[in-house]
């Protein structure tokens, strides 16, 4: 018997060794055999010894599910104390953690104890107390008559709460012994070997759950550290590319050949576009880039490089997958630079950049209000020797997109490409 409220039995072995099919086998609706713990307990009677053991198994099952889902260690320990007490039909239970420096076992969680005990009171961890013996030897301890116990001393806190009997089992994790799970009762009665099986199983589940939580904590720390490294690397790449762009720009200005100067200046613009995209990547830190922020940043950069162009930029509140961002940045840089070179001449003019959501696609448009496209302009011609047009076609293909162009009060280019989902 486990408690003066627990069921009595004259033939415990016969009750416990009955066929398990009565409990776990699933049957059809016409059968009288139970299909759940609740039905099994009701059938044998909650007040019987078998019903009592079935209740313990049901509690173990429920705690296992809770432990699998719980992410908070304090909540896990508190629930363990509550459910272990329920399983032993008593009002007192405590979870004790061993502290090496103090060589004691501190109350980490519990039920039934007065205020100010949890997290404050500790027990000596030597083998002269029931909990200390269980921790030191890794052996379950039953003390059914603490008032007359000669093997162990009774801790003061247990005397204050009128504890008459106790059962202690070790809590272990992969790191080694962690602490002790103890159930106490102020009533007369007997804790039995079957109670050890229940409580040790409970402690084993608790140890596994704590291992899982520790593993998840370390994994989260590792992921956070990797994010820091990625942000730092991306920031350094951005700085290096910015420096390279500046060097190309300086060489462009100092080169006496106009065609070389122009090529170097275009290369500088491409490099700075990539640098700006990397800047957005590490700032947003989501694996995606918000298009409004990217376009605003690129337009600000292009405005400083292209003094004759007035840029007007707008974008819907949509985001790009990270691997699309560089291609979009380079496309915008190339198309805006072309508009500055060919649409207006030295007088300059207005260029409008937009990005809009269209069903499951994104449409990026660059429009000027200048002289328009040449009559012989063929966007799809692969015979074009223009490096700029070859680059544009290559970038569009990398986006799995299509590009259209036309003249309507100026030249316009529209690139349509699929929006990658957040998990893509």
Task: Identify the pLDDT of residue 146.
Answer: 82
Residue 58 has pLDDT above 90, yes or no: no
Beta bridge pairs of residue 181: 95, 169
Task: Identify the pLDDT of residue 8.
Answer: 38
Q: Give mean pLDDT, residues 34-59.
A: 71
pLDDT digits (tens, 9 = 90+) for 226-250: 777 666 666 666 666 666 666 666 6
Q: What's the distance, Cα to Cα, between the start and end of the chain in Å? A: 59
Task: Identify the pLDDT of residue 45.
Answer: 63
Q: Give mean pLDDT, residues 38-45.
A: 64
Q: Give mean pLDDT, residues 121-150.
A: 89
Phi-psi bin for 255: left (phi > 0), alpha (psi -120 to 50), beta? beta
Q: How many CA atoms lie within 13 A of 347 on its CB side?
A: 7
Give the sign of the dihedral formed by CA 142, CA 144, CA 150, CA 154.
positive
pLDDT digits (tens, 9 = 90+) for 279-290: 666 565 556 788
Task: Identify the pLDDT of residue 180.
Answer: 95
Distance set, CA 54 to CA 23, 399, 420 (Å): 9, 61, 52
Q: Give mean pLDDT, residues 249-267.
A: 71
Comparing C-alpha atoms, which of 122, 177, 132, 175 is closest to residue 152?
A: 132
pLDDT digits (tens, 9 = 90+) for 62-102: 888 898 888 899 999 999 999 999 999 999 999 999 999 99
| Rounded Cα gap, residues 103 and 127, in angstroms | 12
| Rounded Cα gap, residues 92 and 140, in angstroms | 18
Q: At what angle do helices 49-69 and 37-44 cross, to 10 degrees?
A: 160
| Rounded Cα gap, residues 307 and 142, in angstroms | 87
Q: Give mean pLDDT, residues 117-146.
A: 91
Q: Give mean pLDDT, residues 97-122.
A: 94
DSSP letters along 95-153, please? EEEEETTTTEEEEEEEESPPTT-TTT-EEE-STTSHHHHHHHH---EEES-GGG-SSSP
Task: Identify the pLDDT of residue 291.
Answer: 87
Q: What percent of the chain has pLDDT over 70?
A: 75
Across the chain, mean pLDDT equals 80
| Rounded Cα gap, residues 134 and 289, in angstroms | 56
DSSP letters along 195-233, please? HHHHHHHHHHHHHHHHHHHHHHHHHHHHHHHHHHHHHHH
pLDDT digits (tens, 9 = 90+) for 366-402: 999 998 888 878 777 665 556 778 888 888 999 999 9
Task: Identify the pLDDT of residue 46.
Answer: 59
Residue 222 has pLDDT above 80, yes or no: yes
Q: Give mean pLDDT, residues 304-325.
A: 86
Task: Identify the pLDDT of residue 35.
Answer: 57
**Better pLDDT: 335 or 275:** 335
């Amino acid at each position: 018997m486990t408690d003066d409220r627990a069921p009595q039995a004259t033939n415990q072995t016969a009750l416990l060794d009955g066929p398990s099919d009565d409990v776990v086998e699933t049957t059809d609706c016409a059968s009288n055999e139970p299909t759940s713990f609740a039905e099994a307990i009701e059938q044998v009677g909650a007040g019987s010894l078998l019903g009592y053991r079935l209740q313990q198994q049901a509690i173990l099952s429920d705690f296992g599910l809770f432990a699998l889902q719980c992410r908070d260690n304090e909540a896990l320990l508190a629930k363990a104390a509550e459910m272990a007490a329920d399983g032993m039909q008593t009002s007192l239970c405590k979870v004790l953690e061993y502290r090496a420096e103090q060589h004691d076992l501190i109350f980490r969680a519990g039920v039934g104890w007065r205020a100010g005990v949890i997290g404050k009171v500790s027990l000596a961890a030597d083998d002269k107390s029931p909990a200390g013996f269980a921790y030191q030897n890794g052996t379950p301890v039953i003390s059914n008559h603490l008032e007359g116990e000669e093997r162990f001393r009774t801790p003061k806190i247990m005397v204050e709460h009128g504890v008459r009997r106790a059962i202690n089992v070790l809590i272990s994790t992969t790191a080694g012994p962690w602490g002790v799970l103890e159930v106490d009762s102020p009533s007369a009665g007997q804790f039995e070997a079957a109670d050890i099986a229940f409580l040790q199983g409970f402690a084993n589940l608790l140890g596994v759950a704590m291992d899982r939580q520790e593993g998840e904590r370390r994994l989260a720390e590792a992921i956070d550290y990797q994010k820091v490294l990625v942000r730092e690397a991306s920031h350094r790449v951005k700085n290096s590319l910015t420096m390279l762009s500046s060097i190309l720009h300086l060489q462009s200005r100092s080169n006496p050949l106009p065609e070389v100067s122009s090529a170097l200046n275009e290369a500088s613009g491409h490099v700075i576009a990539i640098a700006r995209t990397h800047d957005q990547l590490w700032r947003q830190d989501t694996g995606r880039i918000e298009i409004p922020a990217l376009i605003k940043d690129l337009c600000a950069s292009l405005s400083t490089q292209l003094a004759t162009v007035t840029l007007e930029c707008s974008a819907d509140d949509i985001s790009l997958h990270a691997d699309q961002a560089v291609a979009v940045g380079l496309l915008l840089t190339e198309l805006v630079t072309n508009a500055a070179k060919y649409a207006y001449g030295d007088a300059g003019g207005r260029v409008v950049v937009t990005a809009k959501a269209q069903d499951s696609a994104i449409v990026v448009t660059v429009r000027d209000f200048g002289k328009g496209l040449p009559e012989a302009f063929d966007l799809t011609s692969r015979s074009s020797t223009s490096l700029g047009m070859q680059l544009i076609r290559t970038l569009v293909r990398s986006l799995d997109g299509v590009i259209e162009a036309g003249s309507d009060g100026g030249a316009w280019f529209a690139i349509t490409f699929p929006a990658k989902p957040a998990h893509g």
